[in-house]
Structure 1
């Protein structure tokens, strides 16, 4: 019986991770649909303004406030900056780039986080994982194809978004352990709200939100919030090394939605690059898991 419980927990964690990736893919579809009629700054503002209260309520239920001195911690400011960079560039990318392409480039995120941890925190990364990282970024180059006729400069926005997420995730490690996830999330989304206001003031663009656009934006918030809950539950239920590789299912969901609802047709280089990115990430996960097992045995 003792041996069956971890397998059961891992299966639950895998199912939750798959659900999270599907939910985030649907959120991206809603955001892309919204971006066809609304300015990017307005979408950033609405997303932050609708999402922040959710985590404020969660923090209150945990007996925590958000207007506390910990909000001024330098690591919180750094994380908020990463959140703002990621949000603005990601919405802008969704507005201009096919959904499948955005999803393919985004799959390089785990490799980028590993590289950032090695460079910033001096975490040990062996030559095999460095090779996987380089192979993954070679896959990114296959997807975006700089210098070719198929190159779209807007695709670089996805890379900027990845850089913002890396900054966000690395900065989160330096936030005091006493600060809850709900507090950190509320601060990040409040920062995104302020950024949206600044973008709208700078561009002077604003548009009345129609009924269908309201439904689309609410759908994005509902699916995004549900996805956030699912990833939190997944990482707390199963072993990270077992559950984490299923993050790559987001690519399948996103490409499928792009084909079904947006008439997108990923070309050969995009599919090949996406495959290389995913294969590199899976190898890096497998290698990390093998090293952890070896350290436990030793």
Structure 2
């Protein structure tokens, strides 16, 4: 099996894991306040990532953690996870997952704006088309919901987190950054609980769901990292969009959701634009490498 094929398989496995994580957290949100979910999920995620980081020999404490970009990443992680978890509690899983697929488009646009990466008119056009797909899913002025808006805010938070990760000191591994990203969720959940109430011991079944979600999510993140390191980025990255396929299947089987035509159409536009943007990015990278050779 080639490295690219192994990378693609790992990416698909990672996306399946993230979809299962979303399903478990959405189920738990029916009986557990979002603030409490963030505290438990953040605490468990911190432990799992710390174990992974130590197994790799990474240092958990470093002066580089004081870098401003690391702080920006933590804020983006908080915003992304907070609004995304809220959206899971308020909106259909299919809608939330569809809007999340716009994140790579925002990352490409942000890389051009903040890091000076060259993005041609074709990719800018694809990004614009992708945002049209977002509007199709949201349907502003027709059927927009607070849950969908929370999903949009969560997607933007995750995209900014990915951009901040690019600018973080190279001495900090993804696992170490994951430790502090999840750790920041604990006080965030506590603050949210202070405003919304609902603190208490969650039902055992819900606690089990959150615990399993943290394990599955950590394993998925590890598979994602392995996929990006093993295969060519331009080949492996498009398989991120399989997350939507898994989410739609779980939404139908577990929650009985039946996405309407507009949601499916908007999802197709977002995914198509994202795949095209990634393919154009690959061509641009190859062209630049050929010119330097």
Q: Does 1:193 align with 2:186?
A: yes
Q: Distance in 2 between matches of 1:267 and 1:65?
A: 48
The DSSP-based 3-state class of the residue aligned with 1:208 is coil
Q: For structure 1, which runs of at least 5 residues remain unmatched after alignment?
A: 1-6
2:28 matched to which residue of 1? 34
2:55 matched to which residue of 1? 61
Q: Does 1:184 align with 2:158?
A: no
Report the CA distance between 1:47 and its aligned residue: 0.7
Q: Distance in 2 between matches of 1:126 and 1:147?
A: 32
Q: Distance in 1 between matches of 2:138 and 2:78?
A: 23
Is the 1:56–1:182 contact (alpha carbons within 8 Å) kept by the matching residues of 2? yes
- CA deviation digits over 1:105-132, x for unaligned, max 9? 1100000101111111221111100000
Q: Does 1:50 align with 2:44?
A: yes
1:226 matched to which residue of 2? 219
Report the CA distance between 1:79 and its aligned residue: 0.4
Q: Distance in 2 between matches of 1:188 and 1:155?
A: 24
Q: Does 1:153 align with 2:146?
A: yes
Is the 2:88–2:147 contact (alpha carbons within 8 Å) kept by the matching residues of 1? no
Moved more, 113-122 or 66-75: 66-75
Q: Distance in 2 between matches of 1:35 and 1:154?
A: 13
Report the CA distance between 1:9 and its aligned residue: 0.7
The DSSP-based 3-state class of the residue aligned with 1:209 is coil
TM-score after normalising by structure 2: 0.96
Report the CA distance between 1:175 and its aligned residue: 1.7
1:4 matched to which residue of 2? none
Q: Distance in 1 between matches of 2:289 and 2:67?
A: 35
Q: Does 1:142 align with 2:140?
A: no
2:125 matched to which residue of 1? 131
Q: Does 1:173 align with 2:170?
A: no
Report the CA distance between 1:255 and its aligned residue: 0.5
Two-structure CA RMSD over aligned residues (Å): 1.3
Report the CA distance between 1:294 and its aligned residue: 2.1
- CA deviation digits over 1:226-257, x for unaligned, max 9? 10011011111111100100100100100010
Q: Distance in 2 between matches of 1:69 and 1:102?
A: 37
Is the 1:71–1:187 contact (alpha carbons within 8 Å) kept by the matching residues of 2? no
Q: Does 1:23 align with 2:22?
A: no
2:243 matched to which residue of 1? 250
Q: Distance in 2 between matches of 1:267 and 1:201?
A: 37
How many residue pairs match? The answer is 291
The DSSP-based 3-state class of the residue aligned with 1:173 is helix
TM-score after normalising by structure 1: 0.94
2:252 matched to which residue of 1? 259
The DSSP-based 3-state class of the residue aligned with 2:18 is helix
Moved more, 211-220 or 89-98: 211-220
